[in-house]
Structure 1
Amino acid sequence: MDASVISALAVVVSAIIGGAAGEAGKGAWTSLTTLVRRRFGSDAQAVATLEQFNTHSPEEITKVLVGHANADSEFEVALTEWTNDTIRLIRHTHDVSNSIGGEARISGPVIQAGDVQGSINFGKS
């Protein structure tokens, strides 16, 4: 599997698991599990990993998916298409909701943002 696709897959899985992909991520996760089930049936390690996503890190999930893709060229094509489609979907429908509430006490700088590309530096206080 191409390294750029693996990197994109890792970003997508991480965004979905972390909740950063919002509603689009929920739909993407459903389509990924459907893709894996359709290809491997209900007994595959990939299916079990996806069904128990809350006990696996995004890195572990990506590794399992890439392993299956490397062993199955048809699945590799399908997973690459899913990754590319999902990246486009998340970029176009990415919703961000930042809030500080409750009894929060803030004693330093706070940044609330959507997508950040690059570093954020506050400098010395």
Structure 2
Amino acid sequence: MDPLTVTALSGLLTTLLGSAAGEAGKSAWNSLTATTQRLLGREAPATTALEAAAGGSPAAIEVAAGRMVDAAAHDPEFARTLGQWHEKTTGDIQIAGAGGVNNSVSGDAQVGRLIQAHTVGDITFN
């Protein structure tokens, strides 16, 4: 398993804290915080940064992801557990519909107006 990057972890944490992740996101977040506390301790920099990120601030999420990646670089057990958590959670969130979007137009399609998106609000055409 490749080591996690700050960007990959930050992206997943942002998704989990967004409303689109729903119950799957809440469950994954709770699992991550419990695992981090258990393996690193309640006062570890990664743990406290993760707690600070719970409010959804992009800067706090980035700091938490950085601290967790740093902790993983120094703790093989945490690295293995975090990698497994990331892999499982990414799959769970995509299954729940909050992950990536894959839109495509193929064949001999002749498209006049096309919108490809994950979540769309009100749309009007003029």
Q: Give the TM-score, by structure 2 length.
A: 0.68
Pairwise CA distance, 1:68:
0.3
User: Whose relative contact order is higher, 1 or 2, with alpha carbons under 8 Å and at least 6 apart?
Assistant: 1
Whole-angstrom CA distance in 1 between matches of 2:98 and 2:39 = 31
Moved over 4 A (4+): none
SS in 2 for 1:64: helix
Give the aligned length.
101
Q: Are 1:37 and 2:49 counterparts?
A: no
Pairwise CA distance, 1:60:
1.3
In structure 1, runs of 5+ residues without a counterpart are 97-110, 116-125
Do the aligned partners of 1:22 and 1:94 also contact (CA within 8 Å) in 2? no
Pairwise CA distance, 1:112:
8.7
Do the aligned partners of 2:16 and 2:25 also contact (CA within 8 Å) in 1? yes
Q: Are 1:91 and 2:97 counterparts?
A: no
1:9–1:95 distance in 2 versus 1, CA, 3 Å = closer
Identity among equivalent positions (%) equals: 36
Q: What letter is aligned with 1:29? A: W
Q: Give the TM-score, by structure 1 length.
A: 0.68
Q: Are 1:50 and 2:54 counterparts?
A: no
Aligned to 1:15: 15
Whole-angstrom CA distance in 2 between matches of 1:73 and 1:95 = 30
CA deviation profile, 1:21-72 (whole Å, cap 9, x unmatched) = 2221111000000110110121111111122212553211110110100011
In structure 2, runs of 5+ residues without a counterpart are 100-114, 120-126
Q: Provide the alpha-carbon RMSD of the alignment.
A: 2.7
Aligned to 2:73: 70
Q: What letter is aligned with 2:16? A: I
Aligned to 2:85: 82
1:93–1:49 distance in 2 versus 1, CA, 3 Å = same
